[in-house]
Amino acid sequence: MGANGGSGSGGWAGPALVVDDQERGLFLVHRSVFTDTGILAMERERIFDRCWLYAGHESEIPKAGDFVTRRVAGRPVIVTRGRDGKVRALLNTCTHRGALVRREARRNAKTHQCFYHGWSFTPEGEVNGIPGEDAYSEAFDRGERRLREPPGGTASYRDFIFVNFNPENEVSLEDYLWDAKEYLGCIADQSAGRMEVLQGSQPFGMRCNHKLHVENSTDGYHALVAHKRYFDWLAGAGAMDVSAGLRFSPKALGNGHAIIGRSVAPFGRPMAQWIPYFGEERKPHFEEMYRKAVERLGEERAHQVCTCGGILFIFPNLIINDIISTTVRTFYPIEPGYMEVTAWCLGPEEEEAPERAVRLDGFVTFNSPGGFVNPDDTEALESCQRGFEAAKEVEYSDVSRGMKRLLQGGEDELEMRVFWRQWARLMREAGPASTHTGTDA
């Protein structure tokens, strides 16, 4: 897996999985990484069980007793706010016999009660009720039966909640996020108060390997070809000038994270500078929004927050698409050729109705399972997965585009190489999930 193409991931005796020849400008990925069940098992152990993983947003649980249920790294989780105001993640499995304690998607509750035998727990996870408890012996310990928390910790950064399942984790969330913190802050600063997850979500499946989704989400090379009908529609609606091109710039952010963005959002979004798509009558409103942002953040930061768009990838499975709307998307592999995806829309809590309507329209028309763009991507990625059936004859995929350029553009493949280098390191080593060296690019 190393820079010279060696394999060397413990437990893998096959060909080099990642060939990273920086001297020649050649980067190859062996297609078995998309199809092999043994590699998927290693990924679950060495990546998903070691890295910080997105679990939710604090706006979803604003009050004590609020909770949402999620699956994170294949595990059922209750993300909740305790009576002390602290955000916690509790494993959603009764410590008595294992049933899901919470089967609703979200609610507010003073007690979590298991429907099977009636055991109940506080919002902090402590046992507070056991029917017929006097039937247990002196060896029974209530404290040992509390709802478990992810052993590596639960933490938030700018309201984004992450969990870690590594019992030996010594890496703080902030250290793990590294330079991605700046861009999460950019998203959070779009609101004068706080950003909030809007009602509704988009759960769906894709019959492809999850790493193909990582590649595609940070790939500017395919956009104008695979999504031509969408860009034609945007141009007809006055939302962008396609002739100006998509001048995105990629940037490595450490620890496998990366962003593909540009200095001025190409299509505009409700927090962006005014464009005709929003209607002439809304122009004064956008001018006022920008003025207030300058007062709050300063000229330079306001420009960055209000007019920059991009796609942020946080290793290993979080994508925040902050272009048409602000879509937060996470995904997890079920099989080598199948993954589950969930997406949510994020917006400023003080947003007015016309801008909120545009935001939600973008959430639906751009990246939803039935929108303009996602079906194109799904078809392409599922087609790749079918093409891997010929992997015996065509062993490697090429991720070399732009590798020898001094300044790489959005149609180059820098962000993918950033991902694959971190993937290879974690698959090869048993060390911490954050050992940033500054050499990701």
In a domain, 123, yes or no: yes
The CA distance from 311 to 317, in Å, is 13
- Quote the pLDDT of residue 2: 44
What is the signed CA dihedral for 252, 257, 262, 265, rounded to 10 degrees? -170
- DSSP output for 262-296: ESS-SS--TTS---GGG-GGGHHHHHHHHHHHHHH
Q: Are 76 and 183 in contact (CB under 8 A)?
A: no
- Quote the pLDDT of residue 8: 44
The CA distance from 288 to 149, in Å, is 45
Shared-domain flag, residues 215 and 336: yes
In a domain, 120, yes or no: yes
pLDDT tens digit sequence for 171-186: 999 999 999 999 999 9
The CA distance from 144 to 240, in Å, is 59
In a domain, 58, yes or no: yes
- Quote the pLDDT of residue 12: 58
Provide the number of structural domains found in the chain.
2
What stretches in the chain show pLDDT beneath 50? 1-8, 243, 264, 266-268, 437-439
Helices and strands of the chain, counted as H and E runs: 11, 21
pTM of this prediction?
0.91
pLDDT tens digit sequence for 266-281: 444 555 555 666 778 8
Shared-domain flag, residues 193 and 268: yes
Shared-domain flag, residues 200 and 146: no
- Quote the pLDDT of residue 272: 52
Euclidean distance between the first and the last CA atom of the chain, given in angstroms as a whole number? 17
- Quote the pLDDT of residue 274: 59
- DSSP output for 83-140: TTS-EEEEESS-TTT---S--SSEEE-S-EE-TTT--EE-TTS-EEE-TTGGGS-TT-
Which tokens belong to 28?
A: 């190859």
Which tokens belong to 9?
A: 């991931």
pLDDT tens digit sequence for 69-79: 999 999 999 99
Shared-domain flag, residues 68 and 145: yes
Q: What angle do CA 119, 122, 124 make, to 5 degrees?
A: 130
The CA distance from 318 to 214, in Å, is 9
Q: Please tell me whether residue 418 adopts helix, strand or coil conformation.
A: helix
- Quote the pLDDT of residue 407: 80
Shared-domain flag, residues 261 and 354: yes
Shared-domain flag, residues 409 and 304: yes
The single residue listed with the structure tokens 């090869």 is 428
Can you give the residue range of the structural domain that contains 160? 53-164
Shared-domain flag, residues 224 and 249: yes
Q: What angle do CA 156, 158, 163 make, to 5 degrees?
A: 20
- Please say which residue of 164, 194, 220 terminates a domain: 164
- Quote the pLDDT of residue 383: 97
Shared-domain flag, residues 267 and 235: yes
In a domain, 404, yes or no: yes
96: domain CATH number is 2.102.10.10
Shared-domain flag, residues 133 and 64: yes
In a domain, 134, yes or no: yes
340: domain CATH number is 3.90.380.10
Shared-domain flag, residues 357 and 412: yes
